Amino acid sequence: MLKKSLLLTVALGLTACQSQEANDSTNVAKTQATSASNQAPVGPNLEDAKQFLAEVESTLVKEGEYAARIAWVQANFITEDTVWLGAKSIEKTGALQVKFANQAQKFDDLDLPADMRRRLNIIKGGMTLAAPNDADKNARLAQIMANLEATYGAGKYCEGDDCQSLGQLSKTIAESRDADELLKAWDGWRTVSPVMRDSYQEMVSLANEGARELGFDDTGAMWRAGYDMPANDFPVELDRLWGQVKPLYDALQCHVRTKLTDHYGEEVMGNDGMIPAHLLGNMWAQDWTAVYDLVKPEDAGSTIDVTALLNEHGYDAEKMVKTAEGFFTSLGLDPLPETFWQRSLFLKPQDRDVVCHASAWDIDNEEDIRIKMCIKEDYEDFVTIHHELGHNYYQRAYKDQSILYRNGANDGFHEAIGDTIALSITPQYLKEIGLIDAVPESSNDLGMLMKKALEKIAFVPFGLMIDQWRWKVFNGEISPQEYNAGWWALRNQYQGVKAPNERTEDHFDPGAKYHIPGNTPYTRYFLAHILQFQFHRELCAAAGYEGDLHRCSIYGNETAGDKLNQVLEMGASKPWQDAMEVVANSREMDATAVVDYFAPLKSWLDEQNKGRACGW
């Protein structure tokens, strides 16, 4: 996950400091005042806009590092004091960002060069939550935001003195095949979130007030305005992309449900076509790879056990990160700075609470890039490290752009870059880095594709519905009295996944997913799961690869690396359609690359599902 250094959430209100010489005469001053009073008010002009942008950019550079360091400390040392510091930092930046955004509006009617207009639009719409232009309300919003993230980070499920962390509960969800044990772990983690509910409701109200003050209908509308297209057109685009992938997802869901029913029985599964959320091997049922052994093709053969290979070859956390760095340098990109190795967090400390959710940080918007993870020596984290370094390399590549452009072409791009690299973690890549001696025959590809689909395709509707829920919460379609019901209605609709037991409004299941209390927009992850395959297909073509798309790795190909780096260096300086044209030779997002990648698996799934009652 990208953790911004509060680029646009760090803003300092402008003050016009016009000095007056000490020897100015009183008469001159009076003459100037009389002259000014006889003139009609003059609106802002091009020079005013230039000065405003220069002030904004210098302020963001100056204040961004301070706010990022506060956020880093809070995430790595969760105490009452650091939560207080984090709240104060959010409070300050929230007030300042709104001040900037309001000031930017005075240039709305000017005819400005495209670059200046783009930067002004980013100032107005580049924040996640807009604080109300009221000091007390801003302070309250900041406190809520800090407390929600801290509550999640410190969350544990306790039975008496026996407490389990999210990591421990997730391990049970991934490894157990006992339905009762799974339900206990699933329920246990959701005991951390009900306390968030009232605060979340208040936060929504305050954030909507701030968004309306900036001219948006609500916070969701403000989020959708940041995609270089009309805000109302954006959901239509998402539906189009989902429609391209849905047949593949439906086929996968049908097969997985059938196999889980074979294992757990209809008394656990039910007969409504949906899958109980606690049985899919992931705390949020967003990644189903942990149930591979139950749903794999019978003739798939053995897949490569990367976790075992990492252990066999003595990989620790640092070696895993060094290996991922080696992928990027093989493309012709520079090694990570020494400070990365000195300042990143790779392992969960034993003496304190930290937010273990993997994230990439850009502390000074220059060279101080870091990751924060509680790394486990397994395949999942090996892939995640490649993803997080994708953020870091993106951050460094655009460091020479305006501070307002030091971001992805859209937020889906930032998430997609690392995932694109991760798609090149193929048997060929594993051979190149010495984890295996020979590339297996293609007869094993069906199993590999199934594993990848359980990770990638299973995620797609989940990635879409998170913000569908939030947008409906922000615009009032889902009332505070329907938070949990609305959450499960969307999960039923998009995923064909259901709650394993009765859920009421005494629960707040959305809060058990980090990105809800952490206020991280989620559509970026849906887009990333589309874009990564499109990027992968085009980079493989640039590398001269011919063959099945799922077997391609661009490791070691500097031609593909050069094409990739061109996009990274652009940052957000141009509409995402321009960046798409550079990397994918198209100005449209296209999910047909997903279909191409999984074509052999889709054919197999269709064959397996013949005669089954699919759908829900």
Q: Is residue 102 domain-resident?
A: yes
Which pairing describes strands 156-159 and 359-362: parallel, antiparallel, or unpaired?
unpaired
Instruction: Quickly state the pLDDT bin for 35 (edges 50, 70, 90).
Output: very low
* Of 394, 525, 555, 597, catalytic: 525
The CA distance from 167 to 155, in Å, is 11
**Average confidence (pLDDT) over 25-29:** 38
**Per-residue pLDDT for 334 more than 90?**
yes
Burial letters for 327-339: b for 16+ Cβ neighbours within 10 Å, e otherwise?
A: bbebbebeebbee
Q: Largest Cα–Cα distance in the chain?
A: 96
Please report how the helices 46-76 and 135-153 are oriented relative to each other, as an axis angle in degrees rounded to 10.
40
Question: pLDDT tens, 115-144?
Answer: 999 999 899 877 889 888 888 998 999 899
Helix (H, G, I), strand (E, B) or coil at 504: coil
**Average confidence (pLDDT) over 423-438:** 95
* Of 255, 278, 386, 515, catalytic: 515
The CA distance from 404 to 54, in Å, is 11
Listed in order, strand segments (DSSP E) in 231-327 are: 275-276
* Of 75, 87, 358, 528, catalytic: 358
Q: How far apart are the first and last CA of the chain?
A: 32
Counting Cβ atoms within 10 Å, is residue 38 exposed (0-12), middle (13-18) or buried (19+)? exposed
Which pairing describes strands 497-498 and 275-276: parallel, antiparallel, or unpaired?
parallel
Provide CB contacts within 8 A for 40, sequence distance 6+: none
Helix (H, G, I), strand (E, B) or coil at 325: helix
CA angle 518, 65, 338 (to 5 degrees): 100
Burial letters for 398-421: b for 16+ Cβ neighbours within 10 Å, e otherwise?
A: bbebbbbbbbbbbbbbbbbbbbbb
Q: Is residue 145 domain-resident?
A: yes
Specify whether 414 is catalytic: no
Q: Tell me which DSSP letter residue 370 carries.
A: E
Q: Is residue 315 domain-resident?
A: no
The CA distance from 553 to 427, in Å, is 9
Question: Of 222, 169, 199, which is closest to residue 511 (Cα–Cα)?
Answer: 199
Specify whether 529 is catalytic: no
Tokens, residue 263: 């294992």
- In order of 68, 85, 348, the CA distances from 352 in angstroms are 20, 17, 9
Q: Identify the domain containing residue 91 by its residue range.
A: 2-9+46-151+202-224
Question: pLDDT tens, 482-525?
Answer: 999 999 999 999 999 999 999 999 999 999 999 999 999 999 99
pLDDT at 3: 58
* Of 91, 149, 325, 415, catalytic: 415
Specify whether 415 is catalytic: yes
Tokens, residue 562: 């050069």
**What is the DSSP annotation of 162-201?**
EEEEHHHHHHHHHH---HHHHHHHHHHHTTSSGGGHHHHH
Q: Is residue 93 domain-resident?
A: yes
Side chain identity at 176, as an amino acid letter?
A: S
The CA distance from 120 to 114, in Å, is 10
Specify whether 536 is catalytic: no
**Average confidence (pLDDT) over 419-440:** 94
Specify whether 515 is catalytic: yes
Global confidence as pTM: 0.85
Q: Is residue 66 domain-resident?
A: yes
Q: Which H/E stretch holds residue 550?
A: none
**Do residues 56 and 107 make contact, with C-beta atoms less than 8 angstroms apart?**
no
Side chain identity at 50, as an amino acid letter?
A: K
Tokens, residue 414: 């930032």
In a 13 Å sphere around the CA of 28, the CA atoms on its Cβ side amount to 6
**Mean residue pLDDT across the chain:** 90
Helix (H, G, I), strand (E, B) or coil at 462: helix
**Average confidence (pLDDT) over 183-209:** 97
* Of 209, 388, 455, 538, catalytic: 388
Percent of the chain with pLDDT over 90: 75
Total count of domains within the chain: 1
The CA distance from 322 to 172, in Å, is 30
* Of 225, 227, 317, 357, catalytic: 357
Specify whether 139 is catalytic: no
Instruction: Quickly state the pLDDT bin for 590 (edges 50, 70, 90).
Output: very high
* Of 386, 391, 414, 507, catalytic: 391
Q: Is residue 127 domain-resident?
A: yes
Considering only residues 605 and 348, tell me which one the structure prediction assigns the higher pLDDT.
605
Question: pLDDT tens, 236-267?
Answer: 999 999 999 999 999 999 999 999 999 999 99
* Of 386, 387, 414, 550, catalytic: 387
**Per-residue pLDDT for 19 more than 50?**
no
Residue with tokens 């951390």: 192
Counting Cβ atoms within 10 Å, is residue 169 exposed (0-12), middle (13-18) or buried (19+)? buried
pLDDT at 2: 67
Q: Is residue 78 domain-resident?
A: yes
Side chain identity at 279, as an amino acid letter?
A: L
